Amino acid sequence: MIDENRDFIPVKLGIMTISDTRTTADDRSGDTLAARAEAAGHIIEARTIVKDDKPSITEQLKAWIADNEIQVIISTGGTGITGRDVTPECFEALYTKAIPGFGELFRMLSYDLIGTSTIQSRATGGISGTTLMFALPGSTGAVKDGWDKILVTQLDNRFRPCNFVELMPRFGET
């Protein structure tokens, strides 16, 4: 439930499309994610397309984690089970805390739409230091599901009973 008595706080996002074939001209899933995030009131601080290989993905993730202007990283692509799908391994290697409920909820919601094919998704979420990180599958449908059914509310500080935004100031606690 959205508490309209609270002021909305936009977050700054880094959006990463992971693909060996996509370009800025045909990055439909990245475009879909960016459009939805901006429509919700968030700021796209950075956006890029990265090749589907561990060094490229990891290097970009580390750069954005180190950038204090990026609070949330959301990727699209590379979460399947083929040999080139290495996004979850890159994300999980950098987590200081995993958020297993993100992937579990994503697959649960996807089941209603694609049935047992949802088990092929390795969508994942976690925190690295003070940066939230979410890896979504590369289809526009998966991006819509992940954003519309999970992230749009969890990245809205007005969402009750709790959300990620109100916890962000505490991510660096020791």
What was the pLDDT predicted at 111? 94
> Is the pLDDT assigned to residue 156 strictly greater than 90?
yes
Q: b or e along 111-138 (b: 16 or more beta carbons within 10 Å of the residue's beta carbon)? A: eeebeeebeebbbbbbbbeebbbbbbbb
> Is the pLDDT assigned to residue 174 strictly greater than 90?
no
With the C-alpha atoms ordered 78, 80, 83, 87, is the resulting torsion angle positive or negative? positive
Give per-residue pLDDT as tens, 46-97.
999 999 999 999 999 999 999 999 999 999 999 999 999 999 999 999 999 9
Query: Mean pLDDT of all residues in the chain?
Result: 96
Tokens for 116, please give them.
Answer: 């047992």
* % of residues, the chain, pLDDT over 70: 100
Q: Is the pTM of this model over 0.85?
A: yes
How many helices (H) and strands (E) would you count in the chain? 7, 6
Query: Is the distance from CB of 128 to CB of 95 less than 8 angstroms?
Result: yes
The whole-number average pLDDT for the span 8-16 is 98
The whole-number average pLDDT for the span 115-132 is 96
Give per-residue pLDDT as tens, 18-45.
999 999 999 999 999 999 999 999 999 9
Q: Which helix (H) or strand (E) holds 76?
A: strand 72-76
